[in-house]
Amino acid sequence: MEDLSKEIVELKEFIAELKADRAAAKDKEKREAWTKYTSMSIVVIAVLAAIATQRGGKYSSTTLVELNKSTFNQAKASDKWSQFQANSIKQNLYETMHDVVVKEGNGTPAQVAEREEKFKAKIKKYTDTKEDTRKEATALEALRDEARETADQSSRRGGGMGLAVSIFQISIAMGSICLVTKKKWLWYLSMGLAGLATFKMIQVAMDWPAWLF
């Protein structure tokens, strides 16, 4: 009987310890229930970071494309200005020859008039060609400037998106540390950084003024 009583007492103590452990586990689970929201928030932040990374890559690609356009249009504009300069030289040459011929005045009036018409036709041809070439060169320079402006904007927006990605990464790191240390304030810090990065991402996407952040 004494042994049976002893075993019953030990069994009761074991059951009491088991209940205490279960109660402690439930209490701990209740106290740390917020950590599941931390895990969910890290997943959401990671998705936002991936979107920001993708957008940043798109801006970088646009920058490279527009810079290539700018270089191409600059080269074509330079060719046109070279043609303009060549036509100017030819026009000046014909104008000089015209002045010399007029001063000499050789030939009959009909011959002089014919030469005069030929010189005028040549000079007009080069004048018209110069004007057309100037317009083409100016148009190409306008395209060049437009491409440069687009490249500058894309580069600026790409830099802003890169900053958002960096802040997202810090936010994810803070959330991960929070899960290990169970420090709730780290989760709040992580969420605050994620909100800041999200605002920056939206600001860049909507092209809001940079002074906002």
The overall average pLDDT reported for the chain is 84
- For 107: left if phi > 0, alpha if psi spans -120 to 50, otherwise beta; the answer is left
Residues 105-115 have a mean pLDDT of 68
Domains of the chain: which residue ranges? Answer: 35-212
pLDDT at residue 181, rounded to an integer: 87
Residues 22-34 have a mean pLDDT of 60
pLDDT at residue 120, rounded to an integer: 80
> What are 164-213's pLDDT values in tens digits?
999 999 999 999 999 888 888 999 999 999 999 999 999 998 887 765 55
Cα–Cα distance measured from residue 121 to residue 100, given in angstroms and rounded to the nearest whole number: 17
Q: Are 164 and 193 in contact (CB under 8 A)?
A: no
In a 13 Å sphere around the CA of 122, the CA atoms on its Cβ side amount to 18
**Which is higher by pLDDT, 192 or 124?**
192
φ, ψ (nearest 5 deg) of residue 208: -75, 160
Residues 113-127 have a mean pLDDT of 79
pLDDT at residue 28, rounded to an integer: 58
Cα–Cα distance measured from residue 78 to residue 84, given in angstroms and rounded to the nearest whole number: 10
pLDDT at residue 209, rounded to an integer: 75
> What are 59-98's pLDDT values in tens digits?
999 999 999 999 999 999 999 999 999 988 888 887 777 7
Confirm or reject CATH 1.20.120 for domain 35-212, answering yes or no: no
Residues 37-58 have a mean pLDDT of 94
Closest CA to 64 of 155, 125, 140, 129: 155
